[in-house]
Structure 1
Amino acid sequence: MNRKNRSAANGRRGSVLEYAVWPGWRLLMQDAGLATSPVLRRAQLPGDLFARENVRLDSETFYRLWEAIGAEAGFVDPDLPAPLRIAKVMSSDWFDPELFAALCSANMGNALDRIAKYVRLIAPMAIKVERKTAEVIVTIDFLDHTKHPPSVFLAFKLVFFVQLARLATRSPVQPLRVGWPSPPKSESESGLYRTYFGVPVTSTPLATLVFAAGDIERPFLTENNNMWSFFEPALRQRLADLDRTAGMIERVRSTLLETLPAGEVSMQVVSRKLGVSTRTLQRRLHDEGTTFQETLDTLRDSLARHYLRTTQMSSAEISFLLGFEDSNSFARAFHAWTGKTPQRVRTEIRTDP
């Protein structure tokens, strides 16, 4: 294994731009009928990876691992995608921090709030939960937009949430809508996911699930307040340690991912959410060789290219998601970043072989 893969397999402990791999994965994959050796060989990773403690992988390596899982599942059974294969065997025996924290919750709403709060301990993701009168919209975004997660991983995360609701309530919870970028095109695979979710999978800019409000409040039969009270202090401490050691650029990007769609892009808003003064924020960013405006522009540029490449959204819709007042403001900013208009970039992407 080359030096890059050795470094990725060991990871910089605590970095918010790395994904955690837990020993419980070995049990889950075994139950799903997926041999770990061929998966790890495909991913060019050490054969004992799933037996190690505190494994963290960078985005590129983690996504390669998931692509290998998807490929191996297709080799074992081409008629059953990896996310659905894993969902069939997912149970409380699989000790994963995300699953454990969720199962101890009172209901799906409580579980989603906990996952959103602690997800950075296991992955550079932002889980957003938008509550409306009749429905709740759950979206998944990523802190690292230089790498794009494979569809098999996005599908797994959405399958995970639905399976969690069904497992904890012992009822056939069905989402109202589900989608992710580049969903399966084949009729057979689309049909399998439609059967599992109960609704067709559509193409959406971000991995998205929409639950009925009633399902979000359905009681979890697995609720365990005593167990949660025992483990939560350690999770809070780990989150505090992560925030303390993480670079300010990473923390600002994480916060902006949550605030951009609401148009909250000022340094004052971000400083307040991070619990630091604007002076401290400016100083920390300067120490890391950037400014708040440069960090904001870089993130907006990355997100804009992502939306232009993977969606059919209009400039007005993209400008809203990026926190601009109108599409003209977005177009001017995008031209300043790239020297091109959004439409020209979208055309180039479509014609690029």
Structure 2
Amino acid sequence: MLDMIPNIKSSLSGGRNPMLDYAVWPGWRLLMQDAGLATSPVLRRAQLPADLFARLNVRLSSADFFKLWEAIEAEAKSIDANLPAPLRIAQVMSSDWFDPELFAALCSSNIGCAIDRIAKYVRLIAPMVIKIQRTTSHATVTIDFLDHTTPPPSVFLAFKLVFFVQLARLATRSKIQPLSVSLPYSPNLEADLLTYQSYFGVAVTNSPVTTLVFAAVDVDRPFLTENHKMWLFFEPSLRQRLTDLDRTAGMAERVRSTLLESLPAGEVSMQVVSRKLGVSTRTLQRKLQDEGTTFQQTLDTLRDSLAHHYLRNTTMSSAEISFLLGFEESNSFTRAFHGWTGKTPQAVRSEICSDENRQGTDSC
């Protein structure tokens, strides 16, 4: 059973950093069949090897993985234009469908515990950051990515939201309804908004960050599938593979991953990052130097990438972007951005809007 969990070895990644790749496990073939999706046309659409789902330990780049999801969506729509792929897959999700993420979650005591576990081990299967923030009345789940160079398609974001809701319903055997659902809109998604609204029970709104909010009572609702003994058997392998992943990943990528989680809280100092990584600042500096970079360069590169992502995909103000990037004030962000690009954030946003107008894809 544990052999079916994706490990960090790459079949297709060609030596890329495994922290930025996505795992594809052989069980996808069963999933596709259950969902009524033929694998051959999907893989042809995605321009991927015809035996991809028969291989072990496959990892794809962001670009190839997202092409795969777009191909799955296209194939699903060719069968039924009114049923998006995430909802088609949700119809066949069951406790005997062995997906590592689903299995680990089903062993949990409730959806809150399940999301905590997924958040801890998600890097084994995807370069994602999943967070859950709780209050007395609700819990907010957010999904972000370590790599912002290739934006994920809306079908993949929608699938992750559907996955969490379907997981909660499957494990509790109750019609749990989220309080709110939001993700970045795309033209393809907008055509399916009413269908997704019918599934979730609430409207799907447009936001720069993929977000799902559950009522506190639903977060703590007991899972009927809880299996603590199985989890105790299952977790050591996951824990070891996470350790192996960190060991093989470069220090710059580990710093980048830590900063991505820490930026909105303003925790951007080398001391804070060193403590979270469990190394001294001297060791951190030395390892970054060995990789041809510095802490400040890594921080600036991440901030620059995220800033362009927010400017291109959201209508957030410079002040709002400044906060998300961990700057104390908006002017500091503007000065830093000008240092990276030679332009102001407003100028770059105007250029992006002009380009999109010329291409007929205006989202400004």
Q: Could you say whether these structures have the same fold, taking a TM-score greater than 0.5 normalized by the shorter chain as the test? A: yes
Structure 2 residue 12 is matched with structure 1 residue 21:
no
By how many angstroms is 1:211 displaced? 1.0
Match of 2:143 among 134, 140, 144: 140
Name the structure 2 match of 1:115.
118
Q: How do 1:89-108 and structure 2 match up within 5 A? A: 89-108=92-111
Unaligned runs of 5+ in 2: 1-9, 359-364
Q: How do 1:317-332 and structure 2 match up within 5 A? A: 317-332=320-335
Q: Which amino acid aligns with 1:55?
A: V
For residues 176 and 326 of structure 1, the distance between their equivalents in structure 2, rounded to whole angstroms, comes to 32
Name the structure 2 match of 1:304.
307
Name the structure 1 match of 2:36.
33
Q: Rate the CA distance shift 1:334–1:57 in 2: closer, same or farther, 3 A.
A: same
For residues 244 and 143 of structure 2, the distance between their equivalents in structure 1, rounded to whole angstroms, comes to 23
Q: Rate the CA distance shift 1:183–1:193 in 2: closer, same or farther, 3 A.
A: farther
The ranges of structure 1 where at least 4 consecutive aligned residues each deviate by more than 2 angstroms after the TM superposition are 7-14, 183-188
SS in 2 for 1:69: helix
For residues 55 and 237 of structure 2, the distance between their equivalents in structure 1, rounded to whole angstroms, comes to 21
By how many angstroms is 1:9 displaced? 2.8
Q: Which amino acid aligns with 2:182?
A: G
SS in 2 for 1:137: strand
Q: Do the aligned partners of 1:11 and 1:55 also contact (CA within 8 Å) in 2? A: no
Q: Do the aligned partners of 1:9 and 1:45 also contact (CA within 8 Å) in 2? A: no
Q: Rate the CA distance shift 1:161–1:112 in 2: closer, same or farther, 3 A.
A: same
For residues 325 and 133 of structure 2, the distance between their equivalents in structure 1, rounded to whole angstroms, comes to 17
Name the structure 1 match of 2:361.
none
Q: Do the aligned partners of 1:13 and 1:56 also contact (CA within 8 Å) in 2? A: no
By how many angstroms is 1:12 displaced? 3.9
Which piece of structure 1 moves more, 83-92 or 10-19? 10-19
For residues 198 and 236 of structure 1, the distance between their equivalents in structure 2, rounded to whole angstroms, comes to 36
For residues 13 and 108 of structure 1, the distance between their equivalents in structure 2, rounded to whole angstroms, comes to 33
Unaligned runs of 5+ in 1: 1-6
1:66-109 Cα offsets, whole Å, 9 max, x none, are 11111111111111111111111111222111111110001111
1:199-240 Cα offsets, whole Å, 9 max, x none, are 111111121111111111111111000000001011100000
Name the structure 1 match of 2:68.
65
1:224-283 Cα offsets, whole Å, 9 max, x none, are 000000010111000001111111111111111111111100111111111111111111
% same residue: 77
Name the structure 1 match of 2:263.
260
By how many angstroms is 1:133 displaced? 2.4
By how many angstroms is 1:14 displaced? 7.5
Aligned alpha-carbon RMSD (Å)? 1.5
Structure 2 residue 47 is matched with structure 1 residue 44:
yes
Structure 2 residue 275 is matched with structure 1 residue 275:
no
SS in 2 for 1:89: coil
